[in-house]
Structure 1
């Protein structure tokens, strides 16, 4: 996977993972980092649990609880100080041969000599159809779809999640937690200057089908975000907790929609 950027995603090799990583005992019960998310209720043919609101502002820190966690934290802080030039950052481990302790393989993608990809689990592109309350806007190339595109012939991508977690469509791992774990329904929203991006037409392949449509393209060499915390109105909540699988780290984002929300942790 020689490319460092693709479709304005930064793709970063944080190093090898050739032995089973075991987190320190202090990581067994880390403080929950929760999000509110759309649940998959009303959405067919997909594991559609998607984060929209984080309970607090500030980056999610990995530290000693994840492989190369401190390195990922430092890179994220440096990018934040300099201003972001990419849509997201996808961190991966290579060479890698083992999921961390208490994690399990949830997805596999192999690019053959003919350039075709065989995939299973989380890497199988879902067909997503949703109810009217989900906001419809410009397209985007899902991170796992893009990661398969970046593979070289003969390379294999493996996605790991904690053993008790499920995988989402954006390369996420999540589990449900009691609504009481979230507490007051505060949420962080990220704001970006509209002059930092524009809408362009692009074609990419998803689920063996070529799609053409509008997609956001960043035009600023250095983007900046401002954040604000707000209290949400009471709606129909269901709790979900989320973490990122070892090897992927999303950049900041903020979105809002109506309908049904879940608690979702990172």
Structure 2
């Protein structure tokens, strides 16, 4: 795998190898920058607010990266079009589990075989998710594995998440994308599990910095409709069969 790959406007950066089982510190489960706030009645996680917005990080909760990380928030909307993976990546972290797998089929044609969160949705035409776009960088001999913490739910668009049922936030914060940067879309054709479909890929109209952060205080009625959620980005591993030789 190269150090970085770009496809359909998305950039995927190789953060280096993971050849042993990484064990995150116990504190990672409750770090404040890993808790977000969203509606309690949604069937999917919609993270509208963060518990804090001044810093980002929690890098100690993930395998070491070969690039420099920062705690300063990235206020450029292009961040939504960037992601990373570990390669060769052999093992999910301790107490994390595999939630999705993708590889090229054995016949060597242009079809990807996927399962779990990487399986295509039943809707024929949807906005293409960046979790699917990255499959286009896989070489014929490579397999992608997606990991989430054990007992967390997994969604390729929102990541790994777990509802904190007894957490009722009194306030939270968020960054606003300027209206001039509303997302656009373009069509993209893909073949997954032997089925060719046309979907819509999100595109960015501009790069004006985010506005904020702004703090919102919730009243009694708001609290009834909101819930805290522990959130972790999905961890993506890419490897070849030969990477396990000699392990």
TM-score by length of 2: 0.74
The number of aligned residues is 226
User: What secondary structure, in the 3-state scheme, does the structure 1 residue paired with 2:133 have?
Assistant: helix
1:153 aligns with 2:148: no
1:127 aligns with 2:122: yes
**1:178-221 deviation line (CA, Å, top 9, x unaligned):** 33x3431x3323223344567454334487421358x443444x
**Mind listing any 5+ residue stretches in structure 1 that lack a counterpart?**
130-138, 249-266
Residue 87 and residue 240 in structure 1: after superposition, are their counterparts in 2 closer, same or farther (change >3 A)? closer
TM-score by length of 1: 0.70
2:211 counterpart residue number: 226
C-alpha displacement at 1:161, in angstroms? 0.8
1:202 counterpart residue number: 187
**1:48-87 deviation line (CA, Å, top 9, x unaligned):** 333232232234312322112695633x74x838x56453
**Mind listing any 5+ residue stretches in structure 2 that lack a counterpart?**
238-247
C-alpha displacement at 1:118, in angstroms? 0.6
Alignment of 1:5-84 (within 5 A): 5-24=6-25, 26-27=27-28, 30-31=31-32, 33-38=34-39, 41=42, 48-68=44-64, 71=67, 73-74=69-70, 77=72, 80=74, 83=76
Residue 187 and residue 72 in structure 1: after superposition, are their counterparts in 2 closer, same or farther (change >3 A)? farther
**RMSD (CA atoms):** 3.3
